[in-house]
Amino acid sequence: MATPDVFGLGTPERFYSKTINSPRLNPSTKETQESLKRSFDKYLASDHASSSFGKLFHPAKHLAFETPKKVYTMEEIGYSATSGVSPIAVSEPFRLFSEEAVNIMRSEVLNDEVQEKYSYTSDIAPKQLRGYAPKHGKFVFEAWKHPETLAIISKIAGVDVVPVMDYEIGHVNLSLPRKGNDYDSKTMISEEDDTPIVGWHRDSYPFVCVLMMSDTTGMVGGETALRTGTGEIKKVRGPSMGCAVVLQGRYIDHQALRAYGGQERITMVTSFRPKSPSVRDDTVLNTVRPISNLSDLYGQTIEYQLENAESRIRQMLRNVRESMKAGATDVQSIKRFLDFEIKTMSHINDEIVDEEFVQKGHLGDVCPDAIVKRKRTE
C-alpha cells in the first residue's frame, strides 16, 4: 500500500508546516519489516517469553473481519484532507475479532494482577489499564502485531501503520454500571446520560483502533462523539462485541460516551503511527504522560524515534554520496534535511518531561472540557 510522504502533506502542528519542501526520502519496506522482527525477537528473548509465542493468535480462527459499511474522510467531517497523515477520518464499526479472541483478551485484562499493577485513573477517565502487554497480555500483544491484523487496520486507515510502541498496545478503558441506572433503551438520553467515560480530547498518536470487549445487548449510549471541523457534534455508533472503529484521533476532538442499561463498557484502544519513517510523526505525550510508567513510555518512544531517524539518515547519506560522485552536491537539500531532523529531535525532546514535573492523573491542562464536564456531573 502506498503511503503519503511527509513532505507532501500539510499539517496543523508546530514546526512541520515549515518542512514541506524537505528532501523526499523513499521508505524501505525491508527496513520496516526488520524493525518489526526485532521487536518480536526482543520479546522472545525476554524473561517473560513463552515457548508458545507466535502460536497463540491464529488469524483463521481469531480474525473475523468484515469490511466497514462506511469510512468517512477528513473532508466529509469538515477538515482539510491534509490535516493529518491520511485523508481518512473515521470508520463505521466493523467486525474485527472473533468472540473467542475477545474472550481470551478479556481473561488477560481482567486478571487480578493486571487490575492491581497496571491500573491508572485520571481526571478525564475513571479507570484505565496500560503497559501490561506483553508480559501479562501475550495474546493481546500477538493479536495487534500480527501482519494480517496490521493489513486490515492499514487498509481502513488509508496509510500503512504499525503499533506506535509495545507500551501502547491494548490500552483499556473500563466503565462499570452504577446502581439504579437501568435505562429503558427506548427513552431519550438526557444530558446526564451523556456523561463521558473519557472526556473531550485529542490522542497523542495519529491513529487508534477502538475494540469493543463488552456485550452491548440492551446498551444505551456507548457511542464515540466527534467534534467536526465546523464545530458540530457527530456520534459514531458504538461497536458491538468484537467490532472496532478506526479513528485518526490525533487530529479530531472526540470523547467516549458512557453506556447505560446496566451494562459494563470495556474498550481496548491500540495506537498506531505511519510505518514509513518518511511520513511525518506528530506524536505528543501530553495525554499519556500522567497515566504511564514514564521509564517504559520514554524509553520506547526514543527507541522508535531513533530507529526512524537512523533510516532517514542512512537514506540521506546514500543520496549525498551519489551526488558527490556526480559532482553536484545539493546544498539546499542537505540544509532542508538537517533542519527537519533538528526540529524533529527538538520536538520529541520537548515531550520528554522530567518526572518531577509530571502530575500523575492530571490531564486538565490538555483536556479542559473534560474536567469541566466531570465536575458538573459529580
pLDDT single digits (tens) 113-122: 999 999 998 8
Q: Determine the pLDDT at residue 236.
A: 85
Helices then strands, each counted (H, E), the chain: 9, 16
Residue 63 is classified by DSSP as B
What distance in Å separates the CA atoms of residue 287 and residue 173, rounded to the nearest whole number? Answer: 14
d(CA 216, CA 266): 10
Quick check: 153 and 246 in contact, CB under 8 A? yes
Phi-psi region of 185 (alpha: psi -120 to 50; beta: other; left: phi over 0): alpha
Q: What is the mean pLDDT of residues 355-377?
A: 69
Predicted confidence (pLDDT) per residue in 49-75, tens digit: 444 346 799 999 999 999 999 999 999
DSSP 3-state of 173: strand
Quick check: bond before 134 cis, omega within 30? yes
pLDDT of residue 259 exceeding 80: no
pLDDT, tens only, 182-240: 433 332 223 334 456 567 888 999 999 999 999 888 877 778 899 999 999 998 887 89
If you count them, how many residues does the chain have? 378
Rounded distance between C-alpha atoms, residue 63 and residue 97, angstroms: 5
Where do the structural domains in the chain lie, given as residue ranges? 6-377
- pLDDT tier, 146 (very low <50, low <70, confident <90, very high otherwise): very high
User: Which tens digits make up the pLDDT trace of 314-348?
Assistant: 999 999 999 999 998 899 999 999 999 999 999 99
Give the per-residue pLDDT at 41. Answer: 57
How far is the C-alpha of 182 from the C-alpha of 184, rounded, in Å? Answer: 7
